[in-house]
Amino acid sequence: MKIVVLDGYGMNPGDLSWDDLKALGDCTVYDRTAAADIVIRAKGAEAILTNKVVISAEIIAALPELKYIGVTATGYNVVDITAAKERGIVVTNIPAYSTMSVAQMVFAHILNIAQQVSLHSQEVKNGRWAINPDFCFWDTSLIELDGLKLGLIGLGHTGNATARVALGFGMNVCAYTSKSQLQLPPEIKIMTMDEIFMECDIVSLHCPLTEETNNLVNAKRLASMKPTAILINTGRGQLINEQDLADALNNGVIYAAGVDVLSSEPPRADNPLLAAKNCFITPHIAWATKAARIRLMNVVTENVKAFIAGKAINNVAK
């Protein structure tokens, strides 16, 4: 079987091995592939793997030998699933490989905002502490999480993991979810979405990107939040109207935001969040711990192996 990995660098910049995948066939790994090169590189391949390279209906039509598309991520919106189904092409994804890493990033942002770790560390390095007349100093309000209310929009794998961490900090956890209260532990209280935005001290987004959730966080919702509220997004950038969030931060409508995702990645130079007050941005790395990427690589290989054996798993194009 000819296997082509179109953009392998993101999941494996060199610290993991492709050997197990290469053992399954004639496998070529490209670090990155431009749109114009997809068909050329994938010509004759029965299996292609992609992370962010878009596999459109036109691409699928131009690859008659193609039988399998492996998405090396959980979200699979980069593939035209309808076109794949029409051709009988199996499309697989990698569910839940980065659950704990994403929950960890949620709290990395929360704790950084609560204690302003990066700001004060830099001030110490700048010599501020050495010349301070007192034994300590702080330039912002320092926030204790115990007793604060965390609202989760979505309660899947990452939402649940984040809830467990929050409970360990003594936080009161609320969730907007399709699950019933009977399906949840008593420590998690179901609330409406409007209630979460109005009442919670911190709101964290854990829902998929759909037509209904696109621009879920907009000027109206932001205006309903507490002026001391913190917004966290480790889901998808398009869940937030970025101009509305920038305006809310700059005008003190909410206190701060921590985001690991943006609507366009890499961001455009004019993205309003880049210059917004109290907006802390990481470059889509919540998923990228080495432990998570090892799990990712293992499931990528198992997905291809199962397809070759005629017993496809994690097939999202059924």
Q: Is the peptide bond before 266 cis (omega within 30 degrees of 0)?
A: yes
> Per-residue pLDDT for the chain (318 aa), expressed as one digit of tens each?
999 999 999 999 999 999 999 999 999 999 999 999 999 999 999 999 999 999 999 999 999 999 999 999 998 989 999 999 999 999 999 999 999 999 999 999 999 999 999 999 999 999 999 999 999 999 999 999 999 999 999 999 999 999 999 999 999 999 999 999 989 999 999 999 999 999 999 999 999 889 999 999 999 999 999 999 999 999 999 999 999 999 999 999 999 999 999 999 999 999 999 999 999 999 999 999 999 999 999 999 999 999 999 999 999 998
| pLDDT, tens digit (0-9, with 9 covering 90-100), for 191-220 | 999 999 999 999 999 998 899 999 999 999
Terminal-residue alpha carbon distance, the chain: 22
For residue 259, what pLDDT is reported? 98
Structure tokens at 196: 């979460």
For residue 223, what pLDDT is reported? 98
Q: Tell me, yes or no, if 295 is annotated catalytic.
A: no
For residue 244, what pLDDT is reported? 98
CA gyration radius for the chain? 22
Per the residue annotation, which of 206, 236, 293, 295 is the catalytic one?
236
Residue 113: C-alpha distances to residues 71, 87, 281, 285 (Å):
34, 49, 11, 18
Per the residue annotation, which of 65, 86, 144, 265 is the catalytic one?
265
Task: Report the C-alpha gap between 155 and 146 in whole angstroms.
Answer: 21
3-state secondary structure of 50: strand
H or E, element range at 41:
helix 38-42
Residues 6+ away with beta carbon under 8 Å from 236: 75, 208, 209, 261
Contacts 24+ apart (CB under 8 A), 308-312: 308/1, 308/24, 308/25, 312/90, 312/92
- CA-CA-CA-CA dihedral for 194, 242, 101, 302, to nearest 10: 100
Q: Do domains 2-97+290-308 and 99-281 have the same CATH topology?
A: yes
Stated pTM of the model: 0.93
| pLDDT, tens digit (0-9, with 9 covering 90-100), for 248-295 | 999 999 999 999 999 999 999 999 999 999 999 999 999 999 999 999
Sketch the domain layout of the chain as residue ranges.
2-97+290-308, 99-281
For residue 311, what pLDDT is reported? 97
Per the residue annotation, which of 109, 120, 206, 284 is the catalytic one?
284
Q: Tell me, yes or no, if 58 is annotated catalytic.
A: no
Q: Tell me, yes or no, if 284 is annotated catalytic.
A: yes
What would the DSSP string read from start to end of 269-304?
Answer: TT-GGGG-TTEEE--S-TT--HHHHHHHHHHHHHHH
For residue 129, what pLDDT is reported? 98
CATH number listed for the domain at residues 99-281: 3.40.50.720
CATH number listed for the domain at residues 2-97+290-308: 3.40.50.720
